[in-house]
Chain A
């Protein structure tokens, strides 16, 4: 097979994206897919093509974990490093793989064949340990599976020829409620929304106003659907719980700017919070409902452009989602004059992330969609007035959009009758960790933790903690299992990680501290430095050099992160330490040799090289590790 010229490959990618610098992420991803990594020469070529300074292109390429500015193995193996993967033995399996491949973790083999490293949670917590090979997910790893993978890599078998069962991702839906058990047909919600005000529609067409015009002139059709969303009291499912109706209304009322003013609907499918995997299952089993929710949002706010920001870890969903989008276009549920409504034009495009947790934050997500580093913006202005390319934009979680479609079909009163007073509707939980039946559980809001535990087969008496809503959420101890899921009590984006009595809650927090240090975007100093200081504190305690002094340091850093960080990542980065220090302090203290102070390293060992070189072993060539306390 003749080698293709890299310049031709890059040219083809560039022209596919019309040399558009806002599509830089997709350009880099597709280029890397063909060339394996992004050399300086490649980046320079892309910089010229998109008419960008090289520094900016390099800045973007070096920001995202899944872009490589150094040569990588032809097979790139990334082990998911969430605590749930670790609890299922990922560290041991990764070591086995490295030994079989004669490889150090984080390095590329000398023949350039393979590299093995870790990555943040890949969203397979209910079927871990999991890894990505060239960004294709492989769940349920065992020693045997690792041996098979090593053999396939050694024989350089193309990934397309690997057994399909390796890549089989299960849905594991264990409990369905209004969302997962819905019986809507494609287009039902949209049709209901459109016919909600038939007389008005007739009037509009009589006046020959297009739907877009009528929207700006506060036409009752979209307004009535907005009314239903507001009446439903739908709140965002991504964690923050902002009122969806308020968001949509603000976006609808925003004028936009410039001659090409265009509202935009974005579906946030970045799902990076460790322990969360509900959006993966929603997009697998309910993609039509999610796309329908986006279309309804577009109908309400008057948007033509829709985008799904899908995390790179879920790239395997692409063909499935594209197929559904194509079918929706052919059924006039997307595209030009949707359902024969004059001027109702809306289409959806899928963008892929490249391994950056921070891009789940809506303004960082928008930056990323615009082809930049995923750094959160200053707010205000909020995306609803100044979002994608400065235009009015709504960013909603996958589950929120699916719920919006349900509301459009069944009405706000129906939705509001489910759940609790302040938390209407249902919530999908991603249950993982120490339980018999990990997977997806949908409950009406208000369910208590104990009930979820008993449904998933965790024994409450043997469970010491549940991490709700991931590392940035809250860790609750067994005396709090009567607390309820809902905005009144335990607000959650969905993660529900169960820890039995044998788990070391210090190790759980330490795993999360590494996660935040890795995922800090680096823009603001309090977070960039603070998350690393936290990680260092935790590693110091783990190595047996900790004392109460370090606990005080953790609280001090927490205060700094809370008060001085630019965005929510920094604000919440200390939560795992803060909670476990409040509730599981003995897990820390049993690692202390002294309560007052302990050196950060082994002092006597620190003289080892000098002893070796000088041949000395006298008393002065040694140091005591603990200081004598003077009375």
Chain B
């Protein structure tokens, strides 16, 4: 038996909705598992990524840890895919981009009643937020972009199976175009 394709997935500044959509391929997941093996992923709870063929990233980059995780994926994955609106454009988390981060931290941890007791968290354990939320292609090179919020399960299925078959992934009507 030939070696299985290794796949890693992660969610950065995302809502896990893209992962949920991935799970919506339902029983086809079993078919997929005939061909692939998961490395680092919320599905396996493996904490760090080894050498992989395919990396699937959900969510944008909002803090230092996101940068580290994303770089780990880039260093280990031959092909890196940005999945969903947040990975591609920053998405919902990027709504804070028109605010100054300092004002945000001040408002939440200092002036807003009820949350003011601890002050702004400064534990070295905590990753620092970036001034702005960025799409992932601004931090590492991305090979493919799979749009949607989230992309439908069928689109993810088509994308992954095309790639596994050695074809350039193409999403036709109904998967990316609806009218």
| A621 with B128: CB separation less than 8 A | yes
Question: Which of A601, A609, A630 has its CB near the most chain B CB atoms (within 10 A)?
Answer: A609
| B120 with A606: CB separation less than 8 A | no
Type the 1/0 row for B67-91, where 1 means its CB is closer than 8 Å to any CB of A: 1000100111000000000000000
Query: In the complex, A596 Cα to B74 Cα: how many Å?
Result: 13
Query: In the complex, A369 Cα to B138 Cα: how many Å?
Result: 44
| Chain B residues closer than 8 Å to A620, beta-carbon distance | 64, 124, 127-128
Q: In the complex, which of the residues A597, A606, A627 contacts B131, with contact meaning CB atoms closer than 8 Å?
A: A606
Give the contact stretch, choosing among B14-22, B28-36, B52-60, B97-105. Answer: B97-105
Query: In the complex, A616 Cα to B126 Cα: how many Å?
Result: 11
Q: In the complex, which of the residues A600, A616, A629 contacts B122, with contact meaning CB atoms closer than 8 Å?
A: A616
- How many interface residues does chain A have, given as a range? 20 to 34
A5 within 8 A of B: no
| B105 with A610: CB separation less than 8 A | yes
A199 within 8 A of B: no
State how many angstroms separate the Cβ of A613 from the closest Cβ of chain B: 5
Q: In the complex, which of the residues A599, A610, A621 contacts B139, with contact meaning CB atoms closer than 8 Å?
A: A599
B106 within 8 A of A: yes
A582 within 8 A of B: no
A-B contact count (CB 8 A): 68
| A623 with B138: CB separation less than 8 A | no
Query: In the complex, A610 Cα to B66 Cα: how many Å?
Result: 15
Of residues 597 to 631 in A, which have CB atoms within 8 Å of B's CB atoms?
597, 599-601, 603, 605-616, 618, 620-621, 623, 627-630
Per DSSP, are chain B's interface residues mostly helix, strand or loop, or mixed? mixed
| B101 with A609: CB separation less than 8 A | yes
A167 within 8 A of B: no
Query: In the complex, A612 Cα to B131 Cα: how many Å?
Result: 11
CB-CB under 8 A for A609 and B100, given A614-B120, A620-B124? yes
| Chain B residues closer than 8 Å to A523, beta-carbon distance | none
Query: In the complex, A609 Cα to B131 Cα: how many Å?
Result: 6
Query: In the complex, A390 Cα to B124 Cα: how many Å?
Result: 71
| A601 with B102: CB separation less than 8 A | no
| B130 with A606: CB separation less than 8 A | yes
| B138 with A618: CB separation less than 8 A | no
CB-CB under 8 A for A627 and B129, given A599-B138, A609-B101, A610-B101? no
State how many angstroms separate the Cβ of B147 from the closest Cβ of chain A: 14
| Chain B residues closer than 8 Å to A629, beta-carbon distance | 75
| A600 with B102: CB separation less than 8 A | no
A549 within 8 A of B: yes
| A623 with B67: CB separation less than 8 A | yes
| B101 with A603: CB separation less than 8 A | no
B134 within 8 A of A: yes
State how many angstroms separate the Cβ of A573 from the closest Cβ of chain B: 22
Q: In the complex, which of the residues A606, A612, A623, A627 contacts B140, with contact meaning CB atoms closer than 8 Å?
A: A627
| Chain B residues closer than 8 Å to A549, beta-carbon distance | 141
Q: In the complex, which of the residues B106, B127, B132 contacts A606, with contact meaning CB atoms closer than 8 Å?
A: B132
| B134 with A613: CB separation less than 8 A | no
Query: In the complex, A608 Cα to B102 Cα: how many Å?
Result: 10
| A596 with B141: CB separation less than 8 A | yes
| Chain A residues closer than 8 Å to B141, beta-carbon distance | 549, 596-597
Pairs A–B under 8 Å by Cβ, sample size 29: A549-B141, A597-B140, A599-B138, A599-B140, A600-B138, A600-B139, A603-B139, A605-B131, A606-B130, A606-B132, A606-B134, A607-B128, A609-B100, A609-B102, A609-B131, A610-B101, A610-B128, A611-B128, A612-B102, A613-B102, A613-B120, A616-B122, A620-B64, A620-B124, A620-B127, A623-B64, A623-B67, A629-B75, A630-B75
Task: Mark B residues whose CB is within 8 Å of A.
Answer: 64, 67, 71, 74-76, 100-102, 105-106, 120-122, 124, 127-132, 134, 137-141
Given A615-B122, A627-B75; 17 other pairs, CB 8 A cutoff: A597-B140, A599-B138, A599-B139, A600-B134, A600-B137, A600-B139, A606-B131, A608-B131, A610-B128, A610-B129, A611-B128, A613-B102, A620-B124, A621-B128, A623-B67, A627-B140, A630-B75
